[in-house]
């Protein structure tokens, strides 16, 4: 659908419009009394979120590339219908295909509280069906207001149960990675992907001083990123999620990724709301599963 048609059908006066972004990407610009945000239609990827009177909450790489069929480095990539490498087929894309596939707009509206609602739906295609041969659908429900509310809704339209792993792979903007801490996971066991998948138990707040890649298991807890230099706390609430992933690539991995920008890793930390590894979700035939993330910022 071209930009003019999108604006005619789904534009929300003074709040939401569609624009042509880099490399012809369709970008959704949202601005209301409470906040502003941008979303890339490919991958239903939230790129930016900035509440009024606050610094940007999400990190996006200064070296981000806009390539058709590739997710952009930063914001909130949608990992689905699997998280991480495919369990049995290394040829399949890491983190599933939703983050790099085309989505369509299902709804856009102004809410009574001044927030803006947007619903996007993953398009089906022969290529996607090859990767995931199950009658199912995925929608992303967003509410952009003083908080950013994101809901991934998986519906199983098939006649048998399906099992998914998933994540809202959120890159948060921080003043400096060694100046922040993350609370909420104290005492939680995690799989340490930097230590060959060894399991450990989180002692105290999380501080990062090297490559960090941990899947915290069986936790429904809210996490908080404490950033003294930015004089703020970012609260990350969740529902329908039993895993939280904490990731920073640090120097070498960032270099290998090639799109993190010079020292970009120093200004980001991923705190991902997920269902990963043994927290995979089984959805009975005809039923749906909702993973919810609520991001809010407060002055520290």
Catalytic residues: 169, 272
The first and second tokens of residue 254, run together, are 């960032």
The first and second tokens of residue 129, run together, are 């069906």
**Of 94 and 220, which has the nearer Cβ to ligand TA6?**
94
| CB 71 to ligand TA6: min, Å | 6
Is residue 250 at the binding interface for ligand TA6, with CB under 6 A as the rule? no
| CB 119 to ligand TA6: min, Å | 24
Task: Report the distance separating Cα 71 and Cα 94, nearest Å.
Answer: 11
User: Is there a contact between 20 and 26 (Cβ–Cβ < 8 Å)?
Assistant: yes
Burial 284-297 (b: 16+ CB within 10 A, else e): eeeeebebbbbbbb
Looking only at Cα atoms, what is the longest distance across the chain?
53
**Of 19 and 200, which has the nearer Cβ to ligand TA6?**
200
DSSP label of 230: T
Q: Which of residues 112-171 bind ligand TA6 (CB under 6 A)?
A: 169
Q: Which of residues 15-54 bind ligand TA6 (CB under 6 A)?
A: none
Question: Would the CA dihedral through 55, 59, 61, 65 be positive or negative?
Answer: negative
User: Is there a contact between 281 and 287 (Cβ–Cβ < 8 Å)?
Assistant: no
| CB 73 to ligand TA6: min, Å | 7
**Of 36 and 193, which has the nearer Cβ to ligand TA6?**
193
Residue of the chain from 39, 272, 273, 295 that contacts ligand TA6 (CB under 6 A): 272
Is residue 84 at the binding interface for ligand TA6, with CB under 6 A as the rule? yes
Residue of the chain from 6, 58, 245, 254 that contacts ligand TA6 (CB under 6 A): 245
Q: Which of residues 201-230 bind ligand TA6 (CB under 6 A)?
A: 213
Is residue 247 at the binding interface for ligand TA6, with CB under 6 A as the rule? yes
Burial 96-122 (b: 16+ CB within 10 A, else e): bbbbbbebebeebeeeeeebbbbbbbb
**Of 151 and 213, which has the nearer Cβ to ligand TA6?**
213
| CB 83 to ligand TA6: min, Å | 7
Pinpoint the alpha helices (H) of 86-196: 126-131
Residue of the chain from 87, 94, 220, 228 that contacts ligand TA6 (CB under 6 A): 94
What is the Rg, in whole angstroms, of the alpha carbon atoms belonging to the chain?
18
Residue nearest to ligand TA6 (CB): 247
| CB 189 to ligand TA6: min, Å | 17
Count of residues in contact with ligand TA6, rule CB under 6 A: 11
φ/ψ (deg, to 5) at 197 = 80, 15
Is residue 195 at the binding interface for ligand TA6, with CB under 6 A as the rule? no
DSSP label of 265: G
In this structure, the number of other CB atoms found within 10 A of the CB of residue 210 comes to 11
Is residue 264 at the binding interface for ligand TA6, with CB under 6 A as the rule? no
**Of 169 and 232, which has the nearer Cβ to ligand TA6?**
169
Q: Which residues bind ligand TA6 (CB under 6 A)?
A: 84, 94-95, 169, 193, 213, 245, 247, 257, 270, 272
């Amino acid at each position: 659908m071209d930009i003019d048609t999108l604006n005619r059908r789904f534009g929300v006066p003074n709040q939401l419009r569609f624009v042509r972004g880099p490399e012809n990407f369709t970008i959704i610009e949202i601005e209301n009394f409470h906040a502003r945000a941008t979303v890339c239609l490919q991958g239903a990827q939230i790129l930016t979120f900035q509440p009024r009177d606050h610094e940007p909450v999400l990190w996006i790489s200064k070296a981000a590339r806009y390539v058709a069929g590739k997710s952009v480095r930063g914001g909130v990539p949608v990992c689905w219908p699997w998280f991480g490498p495919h369990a049995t087929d290394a040829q399949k894309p890491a983190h599933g295909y939703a983050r790099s596939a085309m989505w369509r707009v299902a709804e856009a509206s102004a809410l009574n509280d001044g927030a803006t609602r947007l619903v996007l739906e993953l398009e089906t295609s022969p290529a996607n069906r090859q990767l995931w041969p199950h009658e199912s659908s995925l929608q992303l429900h967003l509410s952009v207001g003083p908080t950013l509310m994101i809901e991934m809704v998986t519906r199983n339209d098939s006649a048998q149960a399906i099992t998914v792993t998933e994540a809202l792979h959120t890159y948060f903007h921080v003043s400096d990675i060694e100046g922040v801490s993350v609370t909420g996971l104290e005492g939680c066991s995690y799989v340490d992907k930097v230590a060959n998948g060894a399991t450990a138990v989180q002692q105290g707040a999380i501080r990062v001083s090297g490559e960090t890649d941990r899947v915290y298991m069986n936790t429904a807890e809210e996490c908080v990123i404490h950033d003294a230099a930015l004089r703020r706390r970012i609260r990350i609430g969740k529902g329908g999620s039993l895993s939280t992933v904490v990731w920073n690539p640090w120097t070498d991995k960032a270099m290998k990724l090639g799109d993190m920008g010079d020292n970009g890793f120093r200004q980001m930390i991923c705190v991902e709301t997920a269902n990963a590894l043994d927290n995979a979700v089984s959805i009975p035939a005809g039923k749906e599963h909702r993973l919810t993330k609520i991001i809010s910022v407060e002055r520290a």
